[in-house]
């Protein structure tokens, strides 16, 4: 099969012919149609992730496709099922991948009829991260929530989910203010033109309930965002820069979230999110679709910050570049 692989950490990745492998007991072999691109993909490639990859490595983790074969103990998954999820062990930038059917680390679910493979492939990591973050932040009716980086893949989903729960959502973006209002943000701050911390404190002097921070890349900036919280408020970082011990001592809840270690990282979490798409209650915004061979360039652009919007890779099918 064709796959984007690396033989050592730090390589860009190359389209190679590699063995497709087989599903082991408790696994399914999936013919991948579309792979979702996430920042964690280049971090794993470059050795910048907590995950220690086994080399050689097939890159990528989010996927959508069809079950090719189901091994023993694969539950209710059978050949021909449309499925999506996280292929952490064997990668998703490949024509085939093997995925366990009962794993928090690599959840898999079935795709509803009204959801496209492109939408499904774009959903797993950002969707489950958003869902788990909102639960950690106790977001419900009446919560005032600041989403720092609301225009990103996680932020856009979190904005919609929080709005559905009845929260008051403050989103930070660079431009795109009207677009975020359309997704349910009550208040939008252009972080490129405004001091976000000052603006939030001015409008909410008593403090807000929760912060979801996907932008801060050092402890100092993350701590600044915590200053907008009321005592007892909660903050979650997807970039793992919070000094959680210091924040807890000051009376806040603080979490550096790892999606695969949350209860939401599950078949139930995936299928719940997909059902929202099927019912027209959740949008997954896809910036562009490119053939699999473009993966190394896409990862470089994602790393540099030059990439805007969610990218998916067509692996098999009419636009795969085969």
In the chain, the largest separation of any two C-alpha atoms, in whole Å, equals 60
Render pLDDT for 163-175 as a digit per residue (tens, 0 to 9): 999 999 999 998 7
Q: Is the pLDDT of residue 322 over 50?
A: no
Residue range of the domain that includes 88: 2-123+284-314
Q: In this structure, what CATH number is given to the domain that contains residue 292?
A: 3.90.180.10
pLDDT at residue 307 in the model: 62
Residues 194 and 241 in one domain: yes
pLDDT at residue 49 in the model: 81
Domain count, the chain: 2
Structural domain includes residue 320: no
CA dist 89 → 57, 133, 205, 246, 260 (Å): 9, 24, 47, 35, 13
Contact 183/163 with Cβ under 8 angstroms?
A: yes
pLDDT at residue 319 in the model: 42
Render pLDDT for 7-29 as a digit per residue (tens, 0 to 9): 999 999 999 999 988 999 999 99
Q: In this structure, what CATH number is given to the domain that contains residue 206?
A: 3.40.50.720
Structural domain includes residue 146: yes
Residues 36 and 136 in one domain: no
Residue 306 pLDDT level (bands cut at 50, 70, 90): low
For residues 110-138, average pLDDT: 97
Higher pLDDT pick, 303 / 232 = 232
Residues 108 and 163 in one domain: no
Contact 165/133 with Cβ under 8 angstroms?
A: no
For residues 90-104, average pLDDT: 96
Residues 246 and 130 in one domain: yes
pLDDT at residue 321 in the model: 37
* Closest C-alpha among 300, 284, 294 to residue 160: 284
Residues 136 and 228 in one domain: yes
Over the chain, what is the mean pLDDT?
94
Render pLDDT for 175-193 as a digit per residue (tens, 0 to 9): 767 788 889 999 999 998 9
Render pLDDT for 240-280 as a digit per residue (tens, 0 to 9): 999 999 999 999 999 999 999 999 999 999 999 999 999 99
């Amino acid at each position: 099969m064709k796959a984007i692989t690396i033989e050592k950490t730090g390589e860009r990745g190359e389209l190679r012919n590699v063995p497709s492998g087989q599903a082991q007991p408790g696994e399914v072999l999936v013919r991948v149609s579309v792979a979702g691109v996430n920042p964690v993909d280049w971090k794993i490639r470059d050795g910048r992730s907590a995950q220690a990859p086994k080399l050689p490595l097939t890159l990528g983790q989010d996927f959508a496709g069809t079950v090719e074969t189901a091994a023993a103990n694969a539950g209710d998954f059978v050949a021909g099922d449309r499925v999506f999820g996280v292929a952490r062990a064997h990668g998703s930038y490949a024509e085939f991948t093997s995925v366990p059917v009962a794993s928090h680390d690599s959840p898999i679910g079935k795709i509803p009829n009204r959801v496209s493979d492109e939408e499904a492939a774009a959903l797993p990591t950002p969707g489950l991260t958003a869902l788990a973050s909102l639960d950690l932040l106790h977001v419900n009716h009446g919560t005032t929530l600041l989403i720092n980086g609301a225009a990103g893949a996680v932020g856009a989903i979190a904005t919609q989910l929080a709005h559905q729960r009845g929260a008051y959502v403050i989103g930070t973006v660079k431009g795109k203010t009207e677009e975020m209002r359309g997704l349910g943000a009550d208040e939008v701050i252009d972080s490129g033109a405004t001091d976000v911390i000052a603006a939030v404190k001015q409008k909410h002097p008593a403090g807000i309930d929760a912060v979801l921070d996907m932008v801060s890349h050092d402890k100092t900036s993350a701590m600044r965002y915590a200053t907008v919280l009321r005592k007892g408020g909660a903050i979650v970082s997807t970039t793992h820069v919070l000094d959680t011990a210091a924040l807890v001592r000051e009376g806040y809840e603080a979490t550096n979230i790892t999606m695969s270690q949350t209860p939401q990282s599950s078949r139930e979490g995936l299928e719940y999110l997909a059902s929202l798409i099927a019912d027209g209650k959740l949008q997954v915004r896809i910036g562009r679709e490119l053939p699999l061979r473009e993966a190394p360039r896409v990862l470089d652009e994602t790393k540099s910050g030059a990439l805007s919007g969610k990218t998916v890779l067509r692996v098999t099918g009419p636009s795969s570049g085969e």
